[in-house]
Structure 1
Amino acid sequence: MKIALFGATGRVGKEILSLLLKNNDEITALVRTPEKLQNHPNLTFLQGDARVFADVEKTLAGADAVISALGTDQSTVLTESVEHIISIMEKQKIKRVVTIGTAGILTSQLNPTLLRYESSESKRKSQVAAKEHHKVYEMLKGSGLDWTIVCPTYLPTGAVTKAYIIERNQLPLGAVKSTTGDTALFAFNELLENKHIGYRVGIMSPN
């Protein structure tokens, strides 16, 4: 499968890239700093910016599916990038996209009329990142794409446990953390299995 990957040098993105390469997928990754990636016969990397339409268009050329592990960077980089990704995917008739979001955009268990970041469940003082991810959720929901948003809670760098627990649209009860390894593995598996199209998926690693 030919995959367009965004955020390949980030903490989750590099784990996803490793899984894709081990699976012998063909990857085109758009990165700002190519020196952070190692050469691989199945990896093509383009230097550029996901906020630039032409760079995203080149990355998506010939792709079967898309994975975005882009972060918010405390700015509008995420929404700007995803707007281009959605537009070009629809133009090129690419249907499948898996993105990494945040547990803040999951439905609150205490108040189901709110998202977690809008409720007392959220302990974060800043809502900048959650609001950006919320906009992306609305954008994907309003698109014609087959999307899944993987929503980890506290995200420490950590290995794959394969014992993660998931729940559609809510964070599993008792969730404290989601390791980068487990988050990447679930995103990779979801791309292959297509079990949660049209859902936000909360994920937790064992404590």
Structure 2
Amino acid sequence: MRLAIFGATGRAGRVVVEHALQRGHEVSALTRDPARIRPHAQLRVVGGDVRDPAAAARTLEGADAIVSTLGGRRRDPDVCAEGIRTVLAAAAGKGPRRLVILSNYGVADSRHRTAYVAVSWLIERAVLRDKEQMEALVRASDTDWTMVRAPVLTDGPRTGRYRTGTELRLSFTARVSRADIAEFMLTELRDNAYLRRAVAITS
């Protein structure tokens, strides 16, 4: 499969790119700093910003599916919503329809009245608001999307031992490794088990 990956040099994105190449996928990765990605025979690196329509379109050329691991920062609090708006516009029409996107547990309909969610919003309000706006844009699109709502991410190894579900309730102890996130996102591209649904994940 030919994948267009956005957020490719983030902490989760780098792992997704690595696992995608290990699985034999062809990858087109967008980054503002191409030097941060190691060359690979099946990797095409596109330099640019995800909010640039031309850069997004170049990344999508020839792709069968889109993977987004865009992550917000306090100094750039709207990058997820603005970035996915650009990607969706570039993909409209002849672009790939399949989209698997990394989000956060605690946004939209997973914003349950629990201590975990309340503290998350207290600490990361701008980031979560950005993710919530991103999810709304994805839901309104005509893509075949899956949103993966993650808790705290760790740098642990791939274990293959994680739980997923649309009704999964996460607590303060919820964790999952970036390697397991990568495995699940890439598997979901193949299996379509959560097509047009948002799914929580935890180890």
TM-score, length-normalised on structure 2?
A: 0.91
Is the contact made by 2:63 and 2:95 (CA closer than 8 Å) also made in structure 1? no
Displacement of 1:78 after TM fit?
Answer: 1.1
User: What CA distance in whole angstroms lies between the structure 2 residues aligned with 1:53 and 1:169?
Assistant: 35
Secondary structure in 1 aligned to 2:57?
Answer: helix
Contact 1:82–1:136, Cα closer than 8 Å, also in 2: yes
- Tell whether the 8 Å contact from 2:60 to 2:95 is kept in structure 1 after alignment: no
Match of 1:55 in 2: 55
| Whole-Å separation in 1 of the counterparts to 2:169 and 2:126 | 20
Q: How does 1:1-150 map to 2 (within 5 A)?
A: 1-74=1-74, 75-105=77-107, 107-108=109-110, 115-116=111-112, 120-122=115-117, 123-124=119-120, 125=122, 126-150=124-148
Distance (Å, rounded) in 1 between the aligned partners of 2:35 and 2:15: 17
Q: Which runs of 5+ in 1 are unaligned?
A: 109-114
- 2: CA distance, partners of 1:43 / 1:148: 24
**Structure 2 Cα separation of the partners of residues 22 and 4 of structure 1:** 16
Structure 1 127/182 Cα, relative in aligned 2: closer, same or farther at 3 Å? same
TM-score between the two structures when normalised by the length of structure 1: 0.89
Using the alignment, how far apart are the partners of 2:161 and 2:171 within structure 1? Answer: 15
Identity of counterpart residues, as a percentage?
27
TM superposition shift of 1:92: 2.1
Q: Please list the CA deviations of residues 154-175 of structure 1 after superposition, one character each: whole Å capped at 9, or x if unmatched.
A: 1122111111001115435785
2:174 aligned to 166, 173, 176, which one? 176
User: Is 1:202–2:200 an aligned residue pair?
Assistant: yes
Q: Residues 93, 60 of structure 1: CA spacing in aligned structure 2 closer, same or farther, 3 A cutoff?
A: closer
The ranges of structure 1 where at least 4 consecutive aligned residues each deviate by more than 2 angstroms after the TM superposition are 118-121, 169-175
| Secondary structure in 2 matching 1:62 | coil
SS across alignment from 1:49: coil
Inter-partner Cα distance in structure 2 for 1:121 and 1:3: 34
Q: What SS is found at the alignment partner of 2:21?
A: helix
Q: Is the 8 A contact 2:151 2:170 kept in 1?
A: no
Q: What is the DSSP-based 3-state SS (H/G/I as helix, E as strand, rest coil) of the residue aligned with 2:152?
A: coil
Structure 2, unaligned stretches of length 5 or more?
Answer: none
CA-to-partner distance for each residue in 1:36-72, whole Å, 9 max, x for gaps? 1111110000111001111101111111100001101
* TM-superposition CA deviations, 1:57-97 (whole Å, max 9, x none): 11111111000011012311111110011112122242100
Residue 157 (structure 2) pairs with residue 155 (structure 1): no
Amino acid at match of 2:127: A
Alpha-carbon distance in 2 for matches of 1:93, 1:13: 21
The separation in 2 between residues aligned to 1:106 and 1:187, in whole angstroms, is 20
